[in-house]
Amino acid sequence: MVSLFPEPKYINETGGYTKSFNRLCLLNNLKKLDFERLKKITELRFWNYNDIAENISDTEKTGSLTITLIDSLENLETGTKTSGTALNPPDNTEELYKAQGYGLEINSEKIFLRFENYAGFIYGLTSLKQLLIEEKSVYKLPICTIKDYPSVPARAVAPTFSWYAGYGRIGFDSQLWGYDEWAEFLNICVDNKINQFNMVMYGYWPFELKHYEETTFRNIPLKIWNAENSKWLTIHYTHPNLEDPYLARFIELAHLLEVKLFAYVGLNSYNGGYTIKHPEARPKAPKTGEFLNDFDSLCLSHPGTVDYILAGMSEITRLGFDGFTLEESEEGFWYCECDACKETWYKGAASPGEAKHRANIWLLNKIYETVRKINPNTVIGIRAFRQPPLEKDPAFLKECVDSMPKDIMLFWAPALYVPETEFPKWCNAFGRDRIWARDTESNSITSTMGRLYRTFESNMIRYKDETNVQVIERDIEQHIGSVKMGVHGINGYIFEWFGLFMHLFAHGNYGWGSIMEQEDFFRRVCWHNFGKELGEKILYVMQNIITIHESQIPLYTTPFPFQKNKMTNADIPAIKAARANHPKILAMIEEIRTAVQNSKRLKSWLPHFDRLKNAERRNAVIYELVLASLRYEDEKDPKKKDPILDEILELNEQDFAIAKEMFFDINPVGETGVKSCMFPYHEMKRLIYNIRHPDTPDNDIICSGIEALGWLWL
């Protein structure tokens, strides 16, 4: 059985294999496309097969297998529909087939690859690469014919270029990459037939912005752990794209591979470091006596703020981004109460939220006009209208539609926490062609958890009791629903890459149009990418790691909305079972690490399993921390309770020590005036200090990530 992901629409396997080969010969039978460009793309597509990439020519040589390139899809016979799980688009099959489809005919002596456009060529060649079978330094391919095309035009992932930089952290994972790491990630995404990046840029800008240099990601002070001397060192960190600019080169590479790059930025939130450096420009919060996030956005009535926002959007357009994903602030329950904003936005508004909505729509239209003057082809999209009530009145949706240009797209549409009827309601209101994404954020939820691991329902204790339900299973359900509805696109979050690659596999497969049963997919895609034996081990590890976030112990009272279940005595059997299984999982991770390290094809996956090893080592400590905290809750004698706090503090140190081995951004960030750190270590110490010193409490809360503040309604 041919193994191919994303799952193709039609395939006909006849049995047998091609002759053995160690080089490829491209034969030019083109009428309209540029052969030299196709040849260059071919060399790039074999990024992880250097021996083939270095032996691609347009003349037949000894050991060659020829690929005849035909830029026409006329008269292509279809194969048999694959296993009943490849979903056709509702009404634009022919359009998608010509725009991005391909036909691949593999015979014993030669190959024919048919396509109408460069995208179809790329996807056909990518499928051919995936079918390679290596035997003793030569290759063969299964004899088959394939007709394939996607079910939605846009299949995006959202990686992070910077994420709350300066507001809640400095950076981790892809936020620390240079050109080479981004190029490898791009290639892996194209292997999964992804064709759009919604690149997150929150916080200090990772590019130069003339006249607003203070808002860029340069020379930011940071304390890092110096293991050699067991002490903290202060450094000044600059984003890699400012240290050695590569963004233009990366955009060029992405475009060559038919991948569009969108800037995922705030509509009026976390736009550069402006509110950090100019706190006087923040909105004026109501005097409620309660904490409000007043630093994520700008007062639109303050002199210069609108000019600054438009300058940032203009520069992003000039950098060459193909579009924008503009996200509304998640602070949806209040709005600026300065006199000018009251005069401008509050008149006739029934609530502060309605005033904010009016201001945001006005700003959206200003951005639209500004960007389109620079590049009329730039796509403008928004992530908006997400605050409660989650079920929207059709009249409200109609007002939103009427208040925006008709070619502004939606990069969020509902799925979770609402009835199934809500998504069709949005599709009907805005039009299916304007829906480019839904609520597929499970990877982003994991990225809030301080480098711990979470992908599946099975990674949590009492998943069904969690208020935040975002796991990979829910993402897949939404992708299938999007394809069935016939919307324009899907978006899957990849806020964190290392150790969380199953999300990319799912976004690629189900965005292309598969409706394969989930367990079948998880198993087969692991076999496909890592081989059957190793793939089985990897899937076992990924599904059987049990992660408890440190905030889930009862004494940790600071809200963390992304994994809220507090551990109780009823959970002790599950915790002890996870503890008992820990040695097996850790041993399997070591076996996986050894296997990928010794494989020339799989070596690039090693950082994923280094990350999983670190997380699982921390899990073992956290299990003990949770059990100690439950003993603390049960103990009634104050003299016996206090030593348990010492035990918890020591386990907290052990957990943090393992984190320090791998991660450098592990201390609170507080330039906004509110401290934030994704590692609960610091807040745990504060809370225990306050238990012991109620008369002199430390009230300087260290929240577990700025992104958590907008989700406290969960």
In the chain the first and final C-alpha atoms are separated, in Å, by 45
**Residue whose token pair is 């889930």:** 552
pLDDT for position 87: 65
Domains 10-148 and 164-516 share a fold: no
Domain ranges of the chain: 10-148, 164-516, 539-711
* pLDDT over 70 at 297, yes or no: yes
Q: Taking the CB of residue 714, how many other CB atoms lie within 10 A of it?
A: 14
Mean pLDDT of 671-679: 94
Q: How many alpha carbons fall within 13 Å on the CB side of residue 348?
A: 5
Res. 486 pLDDT band, cuts 50 70 90:
very high
Share of the chain above pLDDT 90, in %: 91
- Which tokens sit at 420? 């199934």
Where are the alpha helices (H) located in 154-208, listed in sequence order? 179-191
SS3 330: coil
566-583 pLDDT tens trace:
999 999 999 999 999 999
- Per residue, the 3-state secondary structure of 223-291, as one string, reads EEEECCCCEEEEEEECCHHHHCCCHHHHHHHHHHCCCEEEEEEECCCCECCHHHHCHHHCCCCCCCCCC
Mean pLDDT of 531-539: 98
616-663 pLDDT tens trace:
999 999 999 999 999 999 999 999 999 999 999 999 999 999 999 999
CATH second-level architecture of 10-148? Answer: 2-Layer Sandwich (3.30)
Tell me what the pLDDT averaged over the chain comes to: 95
| pTM, full prediction | 0.97
pLDDT for position 75: 72
Mean pLDDT of 386-400: 90
* pLDDT over 80 at 290, yes or no: no
CATH superfamily of 164-516: Glycosidases (3.20.20.80)
Q: Taking the CB of residue 587, how many other CB atoms lie within 10 A of it?
A: 10
pLDDT for position 37: 98
Q: Which of 217, 212, 104, 221 is nearest to 163 (CA)?
A: 217
Res. 289 pLDDT band, cuts 50 70 90:
low
**What is each CA distance from 547 to 263, 578, 612, 621, 676, in whole angstroms?**
32, 9, 11, 11, 22
